Amino acid sequence: MTFGTKIAWDDTVLPFQLDKSDIRGRVARLDGVLDNVLKQHSYPPVVEALVAEMALLTALIGQTVKLRWKLSLQVQSNGPVRMIATDYFGPQAEGETARIRAYASYDADRLTQGAPFDQVGKGYFAILIDQGQGTKPYQGISPLAGQSLSDSAEGYFAQSEQLPTRFALSFGKSTEKGGAEHWRAGGVMLQHMPKASPFAQGGATGEDGLLTAHDLLDEDASENWNRVNHLLNTVEELELIGPSVAPTDLLLRLFHEEDPRVFDAQQVRFGCTCSAERVRQTMSIYSARDIDTMTTDDGRVTADCQFCGAHYDLDPATLGFEATKGADQGE
């Protein structure tokens, strides 16, 4: 079940539902997406690992957004890795491919030899959903918590969405027989179906007074949640990454007694939306005087995309609300 050197389920997100336990989820497998995200920058290994984890979380969470919507994840911290930002662009039409991009900002001289999450200090985890022109973006924020970005994402869903959520992720550089070293990642996301009244009577029992999954479940739902999480705990890293295990086979191995149902898989790829026109739109709020302060000694305004590294070299006369030339006249 391969196409050349690419496995059929690489760069896909498979939604599923466990009918017996009222739990939904997704299985994600990223291969070329991660390679393309990470080759745009020369990140140190600990930063690469954080960007890979964030991209995998983005694929798992983003699969739920509607056509043409954009979902963004962002981590801001006072640690050596100051920011990690990702975008998931929903398909333009049914059956088309979704796109993911990601980047990180960090202080190289502050990085340590510890675990990747040690490079992230106090801060917050945020999710933003942009439904398109003419709508107000949705934003939810929760504190960074736990021992990983996936722990923080679980905390976000408990605090901001009141949805019990669990992630099991694996990612790293892999070498298949006869192939070159490349990034591969896989993960499972579980989420209890929302209830009309999600809060349990006991209040928040988590670290620093934060809600946990069990704070949001009644006795029966908690029993289902415990059982399914116990099954997920048996998953092996190689099963998650999955070069030899199809997502459907993984679901049957883990959850065959929970009546799993799968839906259409979503294909994903690396993709950036930057363009010279978008740079001009961004700069349209500036006056000619402002544009002059951005102009180089060579008489040009330059901009670089943080996501894909694209470089734009523009005529300042085509920029700002006092532009004297059209875009087609400035090049």
pLDDT tens track for 92-109:
999 899 999 999 999 999
H-state helical runs in 64-167: 149-156
Helices and strands (H and E) in the chain: how many: 8, 15
Domain residue limits, the chain: 9-270, 277-329
What Rg do the C-alpha atoms of the chain give, in angstroms?
22
Distance CA 153, CA 74 (A): 10
Domains 9-270 and 277-329 share a fold: no
Question: Angle formed by the axes of helices 149-156 and 45-62, to 10°?
Answer: 30
CA 201 to chain centre: 33
| Tens digit of each residue's pLDDT, the chain (331 residues) | 333 345 678 899 999 999 999 999 999 999 889 989 998 889 999 999 999 999 999 999 999 888 889 999 999 999 999 999 999 999 999 989 999 999 999 999 999 988 999 999 999 999 999 988 888 889 999 999 999 999 999 999 999 888 999 999 999 877 666 667 778 899 999 999 876 444 554 567 667 767 777 677 888 889 999 999 999 999 999 899 877 889 999 999 999 999 999 999 999 999 888 888 888 888 888 888 989 999 998 889 888 888 888 888 888 899 888 888 877 765 5
Give strand ranges (E) for the chain: 2-3, 6-7, 12-18, 23-30, 70-77, 81-89, 98-106, 123-130, 138-143, 165-174, 182-192, 260-262, 266-270, 301-304, 311-314
Cα separation, 147 vs 42, whole angstroms? 25
Position 197 scores a pLDDT of 45
pLDDT in tens, 28-48: 999 889 989 998 889 999 999
The pLDDT assigned to 178 comes to 62
pLDDT at residue number 256: 94
Q: Name the pTM for this structure.
A: 0.85
User: Mind listing the pLDDT tens digit for each residue in 114-144?
Assistant: 899 999 999 999 999 998 888 888 999 999 9
Q: How many CA atoms lie within 13 A of 130 on its CB side?
A: 12
DSSP label at residue 161: I
Query: Which CATH code is given to the segment(s) 9-270?
Result: 3.55.30.10
**What's the CATH code, domain 277-329?**
3.90.1280
Residue 3's pLDDT is: 34
Query: What's the pLDDT score for residue 156?
Result: 95
What is residue 193's predicted lDDT score, i.e. its pLDDT? 84
Taking each helix axis from N to C end, the angle separating 219-232 and 247-255, rounded to the nearest 10 degrees, works out to 120
Take residue 301 and report the two structure tokens written for it: 């305004």
Task: State the average pLDDT for the chain.
Answer: 88
Cα separation of 290 and 295, whole Å?
9
